[in-house]
Amino acid sequence: MNRRRFLKTCFHSLLAAGCVQTWNILETSAAFRKIPVLLYHRIGYTAGPLTIVPERLEADLRLLRDFGYHTLTLEQFQSYVFNRTGDLPDNPLLITFDDGYLDNYQYAYPLLKKYGMTGTFFIITGLLWEQDRLRPEHIVEMAQAGMSFGSHTVSHRQLGQLSGADVQDELNSSRSTMESVLAKPVQLLAYPQGSYNAQTIQAARENGYIGAFTTAYGTCSRSADFFELKRIPVFNYDGNVLAVLARYAY
């Protein structure tokens, strides 16, 4: 090999090594990119720490918009975290609502639309026809407007306390009910009252789920444990949403 060819080979090797290294850095940073997942429950005027008044939710959404947060659909979240495809906007955020109260349709849904945002709602399927809960027609309308849905089981009992057969039924029935309402696969679950154990996770895997959200504080990333996804619960006694994120989005 003459000197010129040798130098050329060296140059190409260095370039290739640099590209691989850059790619590895990008892959590593993507793996650890954090996505905060807010957890709300009721939006309205009922008593209790889990109810946020609509004015407070609107103030939170306005702050999130003004500070450059971009809400994700559950499908975008799934693609990025689970399938490792797609990209994220700056300041990504998933906003979730548990328990499927009718007030989510009355107050949260119009506010999310007003601010050009999207939310994910975890539904207790055994309560779908109760007066104070979302009914299938609400869910279909909201889904058509870009909202996302997941399972919050049939009866909202603590999965970590139930027998194996009951856990199977809670997971399987709720998933198939939601799939028939939405006419598409439902693969994510929120554990009622944050209760689960190793058997719950095994049963969730066996019943077609690819991941589940807890009520433990923290953020999500590609390197998270998919059946122990953390969220950031918001209570009515908390400060504004930016203060909550500053405190818990670690």
Contact status: 170 vs Zn ion (CB under 5 A):
no
Contact status: 58 vs Zn ion (CB under 5 A):
no
Contact status: 99 vs Zn ion (CB under 5 A):
yes
Taking the complex as a whole, how short is the minimal distance between the CB of residue 157 and Zn ion, in angstroms? 10
Residues in 187-216 that interact with Zn ion by CB under 5 A: 192
Taking the complex as a whole, how short is the minimal distance between the CB of residue 57 and Zn ion, in angstroms? 18
By beta carbon distance, the residue nearest Zn ion is: 98
Q: How many whole angstroms separate alpha carbon 128 and alpha carbon 241?
A: 29
Taking the complex as a whole, how short is the minimal distance between the CB of residue 41 and Zn ion, in angstroms? 7
Nearer to Zn ion, 98 or 170 (CB): 98
Stretch that binds Zn ion, among 48-56, 83-91, 185-193, 210-218 (CB under 5 A): 185-193
Contact status: 98 vs Zn ion (CB under 5 A):
yes
Stretch that binds Zn ion, among 29-37, 92-100, 161-169, 217-225 (CB under 5 A): 92-100
Q: Which two tokens stand for residue 150?
A: 């997941």
Burial environment of residue 179 by CB neighbours within 10 A (0 to 12, 13 to 18, 19 or more): middle
Burial environment of residue 66 by CB neighbours within 10 A (0 to 12, 13 to 18, 19 or more): exposed
Nearer to Zn ion, 138 or 231 (CB): 231
Taking the complex as a whole, how short is the minimal distance between the CB of residue 50 and Zn ion, in angstroms? 9
Give which of 166, 100, 96 is closest to 129, Cα–Cα. 100
Nearer to Zn ion, 42 or 69 (CB): 42
Q: How many whole angstroms separate alpha carbon 244 and alpha carbon 176?
A: 35
Q: Where does this chain bind Zn ion (CB under 5 A)?
A: 98-99, 192
